[in-house]
A and B are shown apart, each in its own frame.
Chain A
Amino acid sequence: MTSDAGGASVDIEFRSVTKRFGDLTAVNQVSFQVLQGEFLSLLGPSGCGKTTSLRMIAGFEQPDEGQILIGGVDSIGTPPYRRDVNTVFQQYALFPHMTILDNVAYGLKQKRVAKSERYARAREALELVRLTGREKHRPSMLSGGQQQRVALARALVNRPRVLLLDEPLGALDLKLRKEMQIELTRIQQQVGITFIYVTHDQGEALAMSDRIAVMSDGVVEQLDTPAEIYDRPRTAFVADFIGEMNFLEGDVTHAEDGEFDLDTRSGIVVRGRGEATKGRPARVGIRPARLHVVTGSVDGATNTAHAVVETKMYLGDEVQIVAELKGGTRFVIREQRAGTDDLHDAIRPGEPITIQWEPTAPVLLADAPAPNEGGNDD
């Protein structure tokens, strides 16, 4: 078994894994580690390689290059039925011709566990996922949420080293999905098994994961804790995919002591924190909630932008304002309503406003734009 620097053992390790389907490179030189007991999400839009990565761990696909280590042992060539991992499939894939209990006991039957123990453990697993009293039913007689629980029990009963979940909540309605998110987190903490969770839903990933690997075009853009990913996205893709983000780009005119100034060539000077290089083009992102609208005239100070309101929407506790900056860049601003209704009443489509932000708001992104190219790119 391998260990990372922190001492926790590594359950799954990708070493420069590449998988191609014809001309398409689904997974491109991907390397990462999944620690034991961790809830790791593979997050990305469809076609980013997340499901292919999962299927390679399960053994349904074989990588073209690189190694996948399961518990420190290279798994290449090992068929799915000899791997110590189990999968919760997207459409559950319950066996329609078997009862719920037989479905859950299936894996134990393959391991030739005695009948009485097999069923006892299957019942335990159904209790763990809080689905009892339906043992004798067929999967088709259960609702989607219940089938989901059976699929989970069927995988967990084998006590695998790693549980793979392929968008397991995708087919459920919103309310049930929220419920199952809490359930999944509870179950994972209870059993202590490593979960690798594939999803395209950033909210789901942020809510449940210990760490998130954001994938795009077959590569891992960033692997970090949810808070790090949200607060300090490394690339524009990550920033844009996780929550909403306003982008500004320009040239670094000043960089000293972990602070920088960015001139956007349309009169805005962004002052932020981060290690930038003077004279180089750079891009920053600012979350809509970190922007504030001020009325009245403010002089051209740093971290200030003049814009014209396009739309204003009430979102309950918040107001969302979309405004166009000089030069055509569009900004989304989200402000708390509490106590500032007078101000918000003054904001009307077509009216000019001034937007300001703190120096802690801009996030310096690693992928710089091409030199001397203006405009917003998202």
Chain B
Amino acid sequence: MRRVVTAKRAFTAWAVCVFVFLYLPIAVMALFAFNKPSAAALAGFHGSNVCDIPPTQLGNLTVWNGFTTCWFASGLHDPTYIPAIVTSIKIGAAAAVVSTLLGLGAALALARMNKFLRVPFDSLVYLTLVVPEIVIAVASLIFFVQAPRYVPFFPALGPWTIFFGQVVFGASLAMLIIRARFVGMGDTLEEAGYDLGSGRLSTFWQITLPRLMPAIVAAALLTFTFSFDDYVLPAFTNGTTNTWPIVLYSAVRFGITPAVNALATIMLSVTIVVIAVTGVVLRRSRTRAGTDTDQATPAATLRIG
């Protein structure tokens, strides 16, 4: 009895350690979004806003110097950060929508396709997921540079080419997520739809699509996230466009201010709220849907991804 209790405590302690290991860096990042410049830097500064001190003169920011909220304001007013974040959100949203639509179509077709067509198609889809991103990035760059020469109206390197490149990966990912649920659903419900006089299209709208919705939402969220924080592919195919990860990577080289921490903290908060809301919505739709044991919640999918 005693040993069971001890073992339980040991496991709890271990779990706590794991969570600390996972989340302490993030907590530190959020904390240092509120860090003041060093005392030496403050001594030589005579302006009203301490966050106006140039990045190179901030002094040691890896130690706690005191509390300020001014980095949030300066981050939100930064002339390069905000446009980059907006660009990333736009590309991410477009990539999520298009990838999910393509993935949905492929999942529906592939699940009921003749085996001789399905297996090669499947392998190609998996290939885009397992080939190192750097390879796809190089290939995309060469392709996108050459394409405008032969294809009229093909966009030059920029947001469009980033978007195209990310859809390749995103569509494969979305297809995997949606197909897992589609296959698990079986076709009895669709047969019931047909049986009750509903044609192919209306059965799809009224039965299949609502049942796939959790997987579709999960796929959209996941493809957005992958696009939003992707660095490698945009770094090759961006032309002169700056995405948020690209701006951050280049800023790191010249020293960054806690304004970056502040923006990251804002994004983290937004992400947590969005995931929480999605989780609640999915859970509610699942308790209503009841018997079906769908695994396509974002949490479950993230474990695969």
Interface size bracket, B side = 20 to 34
Complex-state Cα separation, A91 to B186, whole angstroms = 12
Least CB distance, B189 to chain A, in whole angstroms: 6
The one of B197, B202, B203, B289 in contact with A97, judged by C-beta atoms closer than 8 angstroms, is B289
How far, in whole Å, are A58 and B259 apart by their CA atoms in the complex?
66
B194–A93 contact, CB under 8 A? no
Whether A93 contacts B188 by the Cβ 8 Å rule is yes
Query: Are B289 and A110 closer than 8 Å at their CB atoms?
Result: no
**Which residues on B sit within 8 Å (CB–CB) of A60?**
191, 194
Give the complex CA separation of A171 and B188 in angstroms: 16
A95 and B292 CA atoms in complex are apart in Å by 10
Cα–Cα, bound, A89→B288 (Å) = 21
29 contacting pairs across A/B (C-beta < 8 A):
A80-B194, A81-B193, A81-B195, A81-B196, A81-B197, A81-B199, A87-B191, A87-B192, A93-B188, A93-B191, A93-B192, A95-B192, A95-B193, A95-B207, A96-B211, A96-B288, A96-B289, A96-B292, A97-B210, A97-B285, A97-B288, A110-B197, A110-B202, A139-B290, A140-B288, A140-B289, A140-B292, A154-B196, A155-B195
A89 touching B211 by the CB < 8 A rule? no
User: Across the interface, which residues of B come within 8 angstroms of A140, CB to CB?
Assistant: 288-292
Which residues from 83 to 122 on chain B have a C-beta closer than 8 Å to any C-beta of chain A? none
A111 touches which one: B191, B197, B211 (CB < 8 A)? B197
Sorting the interface of chain A by its residue count into under 10, 10 to 19, 20 to 34 or 35 or more gives 20 to 34
Q: Are B189 and A95 in contact (CB under 8 A)?
A: yes
Q: B198 within 8 Å of A by Cβ?
A: yes
Closest residue of chain A to B197 (Cβ to Cβ) is A110
Roughly how many angstroms separate A282 CA and B86 CA in the complex, as a whole number? Answer: 89
Interface residues of A in 56-92 (CB under 8 A from B): 58-60, 79-82, 85-87, 89, 91
Q: Are A96 and B194 in contact (CB under 8 A)?
A: no
Chain B residue with the shortest CB-CB distance to A104: B196
Instruction: Give the distance in Å from the alpha carbon of A169 to the alpha carbon of B2 in the complex.
Output: 51
**Are A110 and B189 within 8 A (Cβ)?**
no
Question: Lowest 4 CB-CB distances: which A-B pairs, in order?
Answer: A140-B290, A107-B196, A93-B192, A110-B197
Could you mark each residue 277-301 of chain B with 1 if its beta carbon is under 8 Å from any beta carbon of chain A, else 0? 0000000010011111000000000
Chain A residue contacts of B206, Cβ below 8 A: 106
B141-184 with Cβ < 8 A to chain A:
none
- Least CB distance from A125 to B in Å reads 13
B191–chain A nearest beta-carbon distance, Å: 6
Contacts of B189 in A (CB 8 A): 93, 95
> Does the CB pair B211–A97 fall under 8 Å?
yes
Of residues 222 through 272 on chain B, the ones whose CB sits less than 8 Å from some CB of chain A are: none
Closest-by-CB residue of A relative to B213 is A97
Q: Is the CB of B188 within 8 A of A91?
A: yes
Q: Is A304 an interface residue (CB 8 A)?
A: no
- Chain B neighbourhood of A106, CB < 8 A: 193, 196, 198, 206
- Which of A95, A96, A106, A111 has the largest number of chain B CB atoms within 10 A? A96
Residue numbers in B under 8 Å from A58 (CB-CB): 191, 195
Interface residues of A in 83-142 (CB under 8 A from B): 85-87, 89, 91, 93-97, 106-107, 110-111, 138-141
What separation, in Å, do the CA atoms of A77 and B288 have in the docked complex? 37
Nearest residue, chain B, Cβ from A82? B197
* B292 nearest in chain A by CB position: A96
Q: Nearest chain A CB to B182's CB is how many angstroms away?
A: 15
Beyond A80-B191, A106-B196, A111-B197, 16 additional pairs, beta carbon < 8 A:
A81-B193, A81-B196, A81-B199, A87-B192, A89-B192, A91-B188, A96-B211, A96-B289, A96-B291, A96-B292, A97-B211, A107-B196, A110-B197, A138-B289, A138-B290, A141-B290
Q: Does A246 interact with chain B (Cβ within 8 Å)?
A: no
